[in-house]
Chain A
Amino acid sequence: MTTLSTDAPKSALSRLLMAVTHQKLLAFASLIVLLIGFSIASPNFMQTSNMIAILQATSVNGVLAIAVTLVIITGGIDLSVGTMMTFTAVITGVVLTFLGLPLLFGVMAAIATGAFCGSCSGTFVAKMKIPPFIATLGMMLILKGLSLVISGTRPIYFNDTPGFSEISRGSVLGEVFPALPLPNGVLILFIVAAVAAYILNRTVLGRYCFALGSNEESVRLSGVNTDRWKIAIYALAGAIVGVAGLLIASRLNSAQPALGLGYELEAIAAVVIGGTSLSGGRGSILGSLIGALIMAVLTNGLRVLSVAQEWQTVVTGAIIILAVYADMMRRKPS
């Protein structure tokens, strides 16, 4: 025999595929179970209006979760997405309300600001070798402070910019298909998810997300400029956070400078429930999307059942632990 070794790649590959799909199925199945459970418990739950409310409530957290997913797959973490979202909203307020520029400039400002903040975090992590947890913790506080300074601690309203609130609340889809009155915010979430999933699975940037999370030193020794790619990944995550900033500002028709803290933990929770490994190298956008939906369904369903808000938080915490435990049980070599 002249071959170096015989192979059974089919079985190995199919085993891995099974495992991956299994995790998505697990999260997806939980979502379905929750939906069925709540609709049995309360007739008000399965109303179209309530479903749309759930999706609308998912949009901001979902977009943030997608941003954090990219960073987490590299083996990092981004704690600054909540206050960064607020910061991009405040900058949009400066551009639209203080400077009176047209709407498109506001949109571009939010995304560019996010990308810039992300590239700063990325630089701290990649060039200055600060652990992601610390670098983005610092960034979280810097951006929270800057939002308050720039806005003078007061909300900035978008009353002078007609159409700004349409970004989140209007429904382009509903005008074309009256039967599908999906708000723009939800549409944007799905578009962001589709684009992010494409980038993650079909582009070089996405490949290096997984590669960095899997074995960074090896990527570096292969001659890849890991610093540059890492900064690019954080910047992309930041740009996505800019979209979330637009969504929340549009929904509130204002930039609320005091808002933001806590959003990053919700986003990370969604990512974890969706089966992305916090140690890096594994994860999916679809998983995070489902994770965000599970959290929104829980909150909404428990509210419909008139469970006190304090208890909703307790349940969410328990779900996170259960989700990760289920994931570990599944990974455990038999």
Chain B
Amino acid sequence: MSYLVEMRGIEKRFPGVHALRSVNFDLRAGEVHALMGENGAGKSTLMKIMSGIYPRDGGEMLVDGHPAAPDSPRAAQRLGIGIIHQELSLMNDLTAAQNVLIGREPRRSFGRLDEAALNRRCEEIFAQLQLRMDPRAPVGAQTIARQQLIEIAKALSYDPRVLIMDEPTAALNDAEIAELFRVIDTLKTKGVGIVYISHRMDEIKRIADRVTILRDGAHIDTLDAARTPLSRIIQLMVGREVTQSAPVIPDTSASAVALEVRGLSRGKEVRDVSFSVRKGEILGIAGLMGAGRTEVARIIFGADPRDAGEIRVAGKAVDIRHPHAAVQAGIGYLSEDRKHFGLAVDMSVRANVAMADLGRFTNRAGVLDEAAMKRTALDYIERLGIRTPSDEQDVRLLSGGNQQKVVIAKWLLRDCDVLIFDEPTRGIDVGAKSEIYALLEALAAQGRAIIVISSELPEVMRLAHRIAVMCEGRLTGILPGGAETTQEHIMELATRRGSALTGAEEAI
């Protein structure tokens, strides 16, 4: 059996880290080869070596049996290797077509652009994907899911023989994922080899032919996807058994209501949303992309204005028009985009933790008390189990799960009674997920009210004591947590569209 790509004994070192230790990986034509492993296991590093972004420090790479060493993304493209990056890397100020064909613009003489040809070619690519989108639409105005599709179109436009997909479905809803899988099937029949990186276990079973597991930069095993149970894959990934359990739901009916919202509305995004959370309760908010979950959180937190509605904290109406007011009322919001909104990634763990409440560490002359900040930071590092060599480590060097814990530490320092977590485990690996779950449960047990917004149904079902489901800006129902609620129940509410009247209004 010949291989499209074969990597043998790949070595990679970063300052202070042995990122890849003699890793083997191969890819056949027409197969989907899933690459699994916790964050920091070396998946992305291995793929960046394959696609010419990083040089390797050792080992060999064969393409079609010939030694190859792509030293730039362009060199890899010439070898037929394309990659869809985990983080969206589009140019928001350009149009879809300009993004898809960047670097390969149809040109006329003297470097002049042929914009009409550019849009035509992009339209053809979209047509192959059966994607209905105007090539002239500016990318910045698209939803994340649409941007992801543009990114995929861009990678496919190179006609790659090897396509690396690094978490392509992180921002897609079920219908879009189904479409993506259809595209992948088409590519398979054309003989394209696909490397598929994902944290979503269910996807591996659906599309992968083989699975390679990495752990701590080492190759653990390569298995047949159909014959290997998921629990075995997870076990190999984390190096121990992880059990998926339903939550133990405490009786909070006697507890005081910590947060209540009534009739929250904002344009078409949020329509007449009402719910309440008691102390010690975890309320899950489920729904598809664009259902308005994050928008609700942002209104409660004062990040966006509201058209109508009332917010009551501990029974008292509060007028929250600014995040500052929300924090004073004891509401914390942990954004889904940690790097942009949650952390100063170039600063130390200590500085990030203390940032939430610098006044506490400042004397009357305005001088910061480093010793006190260090004590506090070390305290949280221990309490939350943040894995970092010291409190002076830069946050960007921590793994996703530990970064999330730093964000949580910030909000705990503020002593918030209501904590809203927006996609708390996005981009976090399986092992660290359970730790975050345990942390959220501990916070609830301390009497805080927790709201968890999540696109992953298993996550909501694992955590939530009650599950609020949204669809098109409306709250379509609240389900009890625990074993009796199934994914089907949630999906039924998540797809319950508005009445015919509202539908007609939207069609205009």
Contact = CB atoms under 8 A, between A and B. Distances in A.
Nearest to B179: A4
B442 to A, nearest CB: 37
Contacts of A5: 131-133, 145-146, 149, 176
Nearest to A20: B138
Given A4-B129, A4-B130, A218-B89, A203 B113 contact: yes
Contacts of A281: 91-93
Interface in B89-139: 89-94, 98, 102-103, 105, 107, 110-113, 115, 129-134, 136-138
B131 A222 contact: no
B73 interface: yes
A7 B73 contact: no
A39 B131 CA distance: 56
Contacts of B176: 4-5
- Give the interface size class of chain B: 35 or more
Contacts of A6: 132
B412 to A, nearest CB: 31
A282 B93 CA distance: 7
Contacts of B73: 220-223
B265 interface: no
Nearest to B102: A222
Interface stretch (A206-214, A266-274, A317-325): A206-214
A2 to B, nearest CB: 5
Contact of B91 (A4, A7, A202, A215): A215
Contacts of B98: 207, 211
B141 interface: yes
Nearest to B267: A334
Contacts of A202: 112-113, 115
A205 B89 CA distance: 20
A12 B138 contact: yes
A223 B82 CA distance: 11
A205 B112 CA distance: 9
Interface in A276-319: 281-282
Contact of B133 (A9, A203, A204, A207): A9
A282 B92 CA distance: 10
A225 B180 CA distance: 31
A143 to B, nearest CB: 28
Nearest to B304: A333
Given A204-B113, A221-B85, A214 B134 contact: no
B134 A13 contact: yes
Given A4-B176, A202-B112, A13 B137 contact: yes
A204 B107 contact: yes
Interface string B231-253: 00000000000000000000000
A13 B111 contact: no
State the main secondary structure of chain A at its contact with B.
Answer: helix
Contacts of A12: 137-138, 141-142
Contacts of A205: 111
A16 interface: yes
B53 interface: yes
A281 B98 CA distance: 13
A146 interface: no
| Residue of B89, B131, B180 contacting most chain A CB atoms (<10 Å) | B89
Interface string A218-244: 111111110000000000000000000
Given A12-B138, A203-B113, A7 B93 contact: no
Contacts of B77: 223
B72 interface: yes
A15 B73 CA distance: 35
A217 interface: yes
A7 B105 contact: no
A213 B93 contact: yes
A2 B130 contact: yes
Interface in A1-38: 2-7, 9-10, 12-13, 15-16
A2 B133 CA distance: 13
A220 B105 CA distance: 15
A220 B74 CA distance: 9
Given A12-B141, A224-B102, A3 B93 contact: no
Given A9-B137, A210-B94, A4 B142 contact: no
A10 B132 CA distance: 12
A146 B11 CA distance: 50
B178 to A, nearest CB: 9
| Residue of B131, B138, B142, B154 contacting most chain A CB atoms (<10 Å) | B138
Nearest to B78: A223
Contacts of B94: 207, 210-211, 214
A227 to B, nearest CB: 11
A19 to B, nearest CB: 10
Contacts of B107: 204
Interface of A: 2-7, 9-10, 12-13, 15-16, 202-207, 210-211, 213-215, 217-225, 281-282
The 4 tightest CB contacts between A and B, nearest first, are A9-B134, A223-B74, A214-B91, A281-B93
Interface of B: 53, 72-74, 77, 85, 89-94, 98, 102-103, 105, 107, 110-113, 115, 129-134, 136-138, 141-142, 145-146, 149, 154, 176, 179-180
15 contacts: A2-B130, A4-B129, A4-B130, A4-B180, A5-B131, A5-B149, A206-B113, A207-B105, A217-B89, A218-B90, A222-B73, A223-B103, A224-B103, A225-B74, A282-B93
Given A13-B137, A282-B93, 16 more contacts: A4-B129, A9-B133, A9-B136, A15-B141, A202-B113, A202-B115, A203-B110, A203-B112, A205-B111, A207-B105, A210-B94, A214-B93, A218-B90, A222-B103, A224-B74, A225-B74
